Structure 1
Amino acid sequence: MWADQGYRGADFHTWAREATGITVEVVQRHDGGFRSTWARAETPPPAVPTFAVVPRRWVVERTFAWLGRCRLPKDYEYLRVCSENAIYLTMAMLLMRRLTRPAR
C-alpha cells in the first residue's frame, strides 16, 4: 500500500502489518517534505528543487481526490467501521461507474 508523508510513523506501519498483513510504503518528496533546509555555516546549503516528480505520489493524491468527490474528507463518523464502509462504498461506486461506461 502507498501512503502519504503523514503516515511516516512506525506505529502505523506495525499496525498495518499485524492487523491486515499489508506492507506500507510511504511516498515522500525528494526534499524530504521541506521547502527549505538548514546547513552549517562552513558548508553551502543543499539544493532544494522547486518541483520534482515523485513516483507513485499521483496514486495517493488521485485516491484522495476520488474520496473528496464523495465528501469523505468531511468525516463525521464516530466509528472507524462506518468510515471504512464509506470508503468501500465510494470505491464500489467508482468501479460501477467505470464498468457501465460505454466502450469508446
Structure 2
Amino acid sequence: MGIIDSQSVKIAHTCAQDVGYDAGKRIKGRKRHIVTDTLGCLLLVLVHGAGVQDRNGIKQVLPLLKYKFLGSIKAIIADNGYSGQPIVDWVKQQFSWNLEIVKRTEQSKFKVLPKRWIVERTLAWIAFSRRNSRDYEKNTDTSQTMIQLAMIRIFINRI
C-alpha cells in the first residue's frame, strides 16, 4: 500500500529550472510528490514545477512507482487533491490498483484522517532538514537526492 501527497515549497534565488506557481497556496517554487508506505518509509519522490496540479502529477509519479515496485503495490491512498473519477479509473485501468481518496468530513473540527497522517508526518520530517525547508538546488534531480538523503539520516537515527 502506498500513500501519496504533495508539498509546494519556495525556491532560493539561485533556482531557475523547473519553477512554477501554485495558485492554491500562492507559492512560486517547486512541488514535491512523495509516496510512502504505511510505516512512513519513502518509496518515491518526484520534484517538478509547482504549477502542476496533483491530478496531473499523479500521472508522472505512478508509472515510476510501478517500475520500482512491480507487484508489491496493491492500493494507493490519496487526499482530495487527487480526486476525480477519471483519475480513479485511470489508476485502475493502467495499474490495477485501487485509488482510495480520503476526504475530510467536517471543516470546523480537526480530525486525524486514517493513514493520511503518515505521509504528512514524513513531509514534516523532510521539511525539518534545513536544506529541504526551501529548495536551494538548481536541478530537480539534486533536490530529489537531498530528500532521499534526509530520509536516510532520519531512519538511521530511528534504529
Q: TM-score range by the shorter chain?
A: 0.5 to 0.7
Residues 51 and 24 of structure 1, relative CA distance in 2, 3 Å threshold:
same
- Cα deviations by residue, 1:25-45 (Å, 9 ceiling, x for unpaired): 3134414xxxxxxxxxxxxxx
Larger helix percent: 1
Highest Rg: 1 or 2? Answer: 1
User: Equivalent of 1:26, from 78, 100, 104?
Assistant: 78
- Cα deviations by residue, 1:43-76 (Å, 9 ceiling, x for unpaired): xxxx645222211121122112211221212111
Residues 97 and 48 of structure 1, relative CA distance in 2, 3 Å threshold:
closer
d(CA) in 1 for partners of 2:62, 2:110? 33
Larger strand percent: 2
Kept after mapping to 1: 8 A contact 2:6/2:54:
no
Percent identity (aligned):
25
Greater displacement, 80-89 / 2-11: 2-11
d(CA) in 2 for partners of 1:94, 1:14? 28
TM-score, normalised to structure 2, is 0.43
Greater displacement, 87-96 / 4-13: 4-13
d(CA) in 1 for partners of 2:142, 2:125? 18
Q: Structure 1: any 5+ residue segments left out of the alignment? A: 32-46, 100-104
Q: Structure 2: any 5+ residue segments left out of the alignment? A: 8-32, 34-52, 70-74, 80-101
TM-score, normalised to structure 1, is 0.62
Instruction: Name the SS of the counterpart of 1:4 in structure 2.
Output: strand
Instruction: Name the SS of the counterpart of 2:113 in structure 1.
Output: coil
Provide the aligned length of Structure 1 versus Structure 2. Answer: 84
Instruction: Give RMSD over aligned pairs.
Output: 2.7
